[in-house]
Structures are given as structure tokens and as C-alpha cells.
């Protein structure tokens, strides 16, 4: 199954490690440092020019990638849950 995370980007659900709200998680200095280092090392991809509302941590072929999405983490988690519900039918 796949998850649409904004723009024209769709990722396989099996590659998703975490879907996180950018506003609440960046209150932590550790998270800000993590995202800063990830950006410096080229692991971050912005989905659109809009302000990101969430970030999705993925692993594809043993390589980490973080997507900045304009879609809220709640909406993405609902989509992911909906996909899992369909798979269980």
C-alpha cells in the first residue's frame, strides 16, 4: 500500500518509520538538532514550498529519507490507518 504525503509524492507504507507533527516535536532541542543535521547531510526533501506541518521519516533500501509535508500529521496518520483498514478486509 502507498501513502500520499502531498504534492505528487506517494511513498510505500512499508518504508514509513514515523509520521510526526513539526510544530510540537520541534519544541525539543534534540528534534531541532536532528532535523538540522539531517538537512545538512541531504536527507530531507521538502514536498512543496508551503510551510511544512509534518515530517515523515522513511527508510528505503537501507537509506533514511525525511519528507517535509504540508499535510498535518493527524491527516497522514488517518490516511495510513485507512489504508491498513482496507488491507485487513
Provide the residue ranges of all domains of the chain, joining segments of one domain with +.
Answer: 2-87
Spatial distance between the Cα atoms of 1 and 45, rounded to a whole number of angstroms: 21
- Residue 73 pLDDT more than 70? yes
Does residue 81 register a pLDDT over 90? no
pTM of the model: 0.86
Which 3 state secondary structure label does DSSP give 13? helix
Q: How many CB atoms lie within 10 A of CB 80?
A: 17
Which cell numbers hold the place of 33? 538538532
Q: How far apart are CA 47 and CA 52, in angstroms?
A: 8
Distance, CA of 4 to CA of 77 (rounded, Å): 11
Q: What is the mean pLDDT of the chain?
A: 90
User: How do residues 9-37 score in pLDDT, each as one tens digit?
Assistant: 999 999 999 999 999 999 999 999 999 99
Amino acid at each position: 500500500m502507498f501513502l500520499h504525503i502531498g504534492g505528487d509524492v506517494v511513498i510505500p507504507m512499508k518504508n514509513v518509520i514515523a509520521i510526526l507533527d513539526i510544530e510540537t516535536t520541534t519544541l525539543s532541542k534534540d528534534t531541532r538538532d536532528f532535523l538540522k543535521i539531517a538537512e545538512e547531510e541531504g536527507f530531507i526533501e521538502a514536498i512543496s514550498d508551503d510551510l511544512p506541518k509534518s515530517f515523515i521519516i522513511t527508510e528505503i533500501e537501507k537509506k533514511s529519507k525525511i519528507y517535509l509535508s504540508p499535510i498535518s500529521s493527524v491527516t497522514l496518520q488517518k490516511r495510513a490507518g485507512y489504508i491498513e483498514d482496507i488491507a485487513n478486509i
